[in-house]
Structures are given as C-alpha cells and as structure tokens.
C-alpha cells in the first residue's frame, strides 16, 4: 500500500516538474511574437455593439442605431390573480443605420416578449410587446424584458409594474392557514 502511494507521489512530482519546463519554453515564443506584433501598426475598428465600461469615456458611434422608447415602464395598476396584462412598447430608430433586435428575454416565465423581427430603418418605428400572466403571483410585481440589439448601448430594458391581488383561493391570514372545505 505504501509502495503504491510513494509511486503515485513520485509520478505526480515528475509530471509537475516537466510541465513547468514546457511553460518556460512557451513564454519565450510568446515574447517573440509580442515583440514582432508591437512593431506592426495597429488599426482600431470601432464596434457599435460594445457596451462602454464604467471607467471608459467612450462616446456613442455616430453611425450606430439608437432605440428611443416613448416609455420604458408601464404601470398596469391592480389586477386579480390569474389575469393576463399586455402592453406594447413602441420605439423609434433615431440612429443612422437600420436597427436589428437580436433577442428579447424576460426575467421570468410569467412574461413573454414579442418584437419587430425585421430591421427598423432610421426614422421608422418598431415595437416590443410584453404579455404578463399573473397566475401564481401575488403582491407587487415588476417583470422586466431585456432587449439586445445593434444599438448604442446594445442592451435596453423595459418593464411593467403593478399589484396582483389574491384571487378566489383563500390565503393564510394573521390567525394562520385557512382551511378550504
């Protein structure tokens, strides 16, 4: 038993020692490649699909599509549990290139988005329709839809908010659970 343990430990040390040598050889090659790459001029290409990070002061591209919503939040008020609420968020492409929505996803399965599937030309209007199903929901709700497009910035969010009142099924009160007959 001890023999096998010493054999495995020796094999592990040998493997570790040989793997360290191969990393040194690889770093020399990388250094040479980096030295030759530093001599060549680097051409920067502006990508309108990149979201600016918090520390950078990137300005929006002049040619990027811009999704300008009339409203980004819809208050549906109070509804009864089990009802479905629908709202269409309309937007205008105020940019200089056609706007293409790549995807729209909701925060939960109770919300289903639909959107303009064709490119929206500059100056034209498009939509993101949101359907919220309140089955199984009670209290304040705020379903959100995240839209990814070739815009500046490339991620935009729209949301609905409101209160879902309990339906005909009794819930637990101050005295504890309610018994249904």
Distance CA 11, CA 134 (A): 61
- CA dist., res. 86 & res. 127, Å (int): 13
Q: How does DSSP assign 20-64, residue by residue? A: HHHHHHHHHHHHHHHHHHHHS-------TTPPPPTT--PPPPTTS
Beta pairing class for 73-80 and 155-165: parallel
pLDDT at 178: 66
Return the pLDDT at 62: 73
User: How does the average pLDDT of the chain come out, rounded?
Assistant: 78
Give residue-wise pLDDT tens across range 70-114: 999 999 999 999 999 999 999 999 999 999 999 999 988 999 999
Q: Answer with the residue of higher pLDDT: 50 or 159.
A: 159
pTM passes above 0.85 = no
Q: Tens digit of pLDDT for each residue in 151-161? A: 888 999 999 99
- pLDDT grade, residue 2 (50/70/90)? confident
Query: What's the fold here for domain 67-165?
Result: Immunoglobulin-like (2.60.40)
Enumerate the domain spans of the chain.
1-42, 67-165
């Amino acid at each position: 038993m001890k023999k096998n343990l010493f054999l495995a430990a020796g094999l592990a040390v040998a493997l570790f020692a040989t793997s360290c040598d191969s990393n040194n050889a690889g770093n020399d090659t990388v250094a040479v490649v980096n030295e030759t790459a530093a001599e060549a001029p680097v051409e920067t290409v502006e990508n309108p699909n990149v979201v600016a990070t918090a520390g950078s002061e990137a300005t929006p591209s002049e040619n990027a599509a811009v999704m300008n919503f009339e409203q980004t939040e819809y208050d549906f008020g109070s509804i009864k549990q089990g009802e479905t609420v629908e709202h269409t968020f309309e937007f205008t492409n105020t940019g200089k290139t056609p706007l293409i929505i790549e995807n729209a996803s909701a925060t939960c399965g109770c919300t289903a988005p639909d959107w303009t599937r064709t490119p929206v030309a500059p100056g034209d209007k498009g939509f993101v329709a949101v359907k919220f199903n309140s089955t199984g929901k009670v209290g304040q709700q705020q379903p959100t839809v995240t839209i990814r497009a070739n815009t500046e910035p490339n991620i935009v969010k729209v949301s609905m908010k409101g209160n879902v009142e309990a339906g005909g099924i009794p819930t637990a009160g101050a005295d504890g659970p309610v018994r249904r007959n």
